[in-house]
Amino acid sequence: MYRFLGSALAFLAAAPAFGQTPTPSPTPPAVTVLRAARLFDGTGERVLENAVVVVEGSKIKAVGAGIAVPAGATVVDLRDATLLPGFIDAHTHVTSEGGGNYLQNFFDGLRRTVAEDAYLAQTFARKTLDAGFTTVRNVGASDDIDIGLRNAIAKGWVPGPRMLVSRYPLGAIGGHCDRTGFPEGTFGPGESGPEKGKLVGTDQARQAVRFQVKYGADVIKMCVSGGVLSLGDDVGAPQMTDEEIAAAVDEAHRLGRKTAAHAHGDLAARSAVKAGIDSIEHGSFMTDETLALMKTKGTYLVPTLMAGEWVTRPDADYPPAIAAKAKAAISVRSDMFRRALKAGVRVAFGTDAGVFPHGMNGREFGLMVGLGMTPAAALRTTATAAELLGLAATIGTLEAGKDADIVAVPGNPLADIHSTEKVFFVMKGGKVWRNDGR
């Protein structure tokens, strides 16, 4: 009798109260198994044959050769392909795009509303994801379009790569990150000032950083030298003072943000490296002295070779001043890149996508190999980009416990690096976004 009553009381205690819905047991995460002839995990020199990757939910559960398929798993057999870590582009402008005619693009851009630019940015984000780029660092935008796009992708409203964004880049009034070469008042009031990144002096440099962080920037980008596509400035001339650069870098690091410096010119790049900048973007005119300093301080180089190829292509249509600057920069950047490799500077993948049409980012791999990198080293710049972005613990290589960001290319990229331009399968965070192999 007492035994029966005890069992009944235990049952009643465990049962939900009258009218309450029982709490359902959590659904176990879905398991997907990817099979392919080869896998390059982003850490070594060779591919793994007979590759298997087990994905559980959004994470990689196991990586190896001939791993047994768990019961109930969905199997995706990609056959004669190579699995690679999701590509990372550390220098993009996903909110804009250059086309065939510079003046027409400029005119069309003036006529678009911010809302139209935001819708257009979604299409660029999807092209980037389809090309195998599951993470990007967007280094320069306006009107908070990059903030909105980052958030919309993170919330699952629109497809696109994981984004780290800079909002407005910092720079000198009248410099590369300003709209130079136009009469006063052309673009109305409010163009200059630290809120939009235009600064004078160390106090405004710190204010500019704080404004970008206040409104959502993940990284601080600054233009410390002139540029190619800006009107009215010298491509290699320093534009921010040493003191302004140092103040901006210090403030960004105090607030937990990494920093990137657009720098074609050597003197400007060296000042940024001395100040502790995390990466130099472009670096066309850098000397051995600056490269040696980068090696010593661990500064990353983001070479953006693809941008140089695009602006100097035979059918390029740019104003004469821009065309001359492009020619000057590309005449030295290949030699700089080779010397950077020889010096042991860490190279992170970055293209300047937006200068050229989005979706062509993968061509950067072939350009790096053409200038002396081995195919394996070029592929490892994905892992180096993850380090630069501070995300190496979760992405950049195919290892158990990391996010399931995985792409597939036909054949073997160690034999033909240009296969990286033919991505046909894209998984981001365990979700398949593209699979043309079905």
pLDDT number for residue 24 = 67
* Phi, psi of 111, deg, nearest 5: -90, -15
Q: Give 335-370 pLDDT, tens digit per residue.
A: 999 999 999 999 999 999 999 999 999 999 999 999
Query: Taking 90 as the threshold, does the pLDDT of residue 4 lie above it?
Result: no
Inter-axis angle of helices 145-154 and 114-130, nearest 10 = 50
CA geometry: angle 248, 174, 293, nearest 5 deg: 40
Q: Give 366-406 pLDDT, tens digit per residue.
A: 999 999 999 999 999 999 999 999 999 999 999 999 999 99
Query: Taking 60 as the threshold, does the pLDDT of residue 25 lie above it?
Result: yes
Instruction: Say which residue, 135 or 230, is predicted with more confidence.
Output: 135
Decide the pairing of beta strands 425-428 and 406-410. antiparallel
Query: Taking 80 as the threshold, does the pLDDT of residue 438 lie above it?
Result: no
Distance CA 194, CA 173 (A): 10
* Phi, psi of 196, deg, nearest 5: -105, 20
pLDDT number for residue 2 = 42
pLDDT number for residue 79 = 96
Q: Compute the residue count for the chain.
A: 438
Inter-CA distances, 78 with 15, 34, 312, 404, Å = 48, 7, 37, 16
Cβ atoms of 231 and 176 closer than 8 Å: no
pLDDT (mean) for 102-130: 94
Q: Which CATH number fits domain 87-389: 3.40.605.10, 3.90.180.10, 3.20.20.140, 3.40.50.300?
A: 3.20.20.140
Q: Give 178-207 pLDDT, tens digit per residue.
A: 887 778 777 776 667 899 999 999 999 999
**Residue linked to tokens 């991505």:** 423
Query: Taking 90 as the threshold, does the pLDDT of residue 21 lie above it?
Result: no
Cβ atoms of 422 and 410 closer than 8 Å: yes
Inter-axis angle of helices 266-275 and 242-254, nearest 10 = 40
Mean pLDDT value across the chain: 92
Distance CA 33, CA 46 (A): 22
The pLDDT confidence band at residue 153, using thresholds 50, 70 and 90, is: very high
The pLDDT confidence band at residue 23, using thresholds 50, 70 and 90, is: low
Instruction: Say which residue, 7 or 29, is predicted with more confidence.
Output: 29
- % pLDDT > 70, the chain: 93
Distance CA 146, CA 376 (A): 32
Task: Measure CA 430 to chain center.
Answer: 19
pLDDT (mean) for 77-105: 93
The pLDDT confidence band at residue 17, using thresholds 50, 70 and 90, is: low
> What is the CATH T-level fold of the domain 31-85+399-435, as seen in this structure?
Urease, subunit C; domain 1 (2.30.40)
Domain range list for the chain: 31-85+399-435, 87-389
Nearest residue to 148 via CA among 216, 51, 86: 216
Distance CA 152, CA 159 (A): 8
Instruction: Say which residue, 171 or 21, is predicted with more confidence.
Output: 171
Distance CA 430, CA 192 (A): 43
pLDDT number for residue 307 = 96
Helix, strand, coil percentages for the chain (3-state, nearest 5): 35, 20, 45
Distance CA 426, CA 428 (A): 7
Assigned token pair, 16: 């939900």
Q: Give 32-66 pLDDT, tens digit per residue.
A: 999 999 999 999 999 999 999 999 999 999 999 98
Q: Give 266-316 pLDDT, tens digit per residue.
A: 999 999 999 999 999 999 999 999 999 999 999 999 999 999 999 999 988
R_g over Cα of the chain: 25
Nearest residue to 83 via CA among 438, 431, 414: 414
pLDDT number for residue 12 = 42
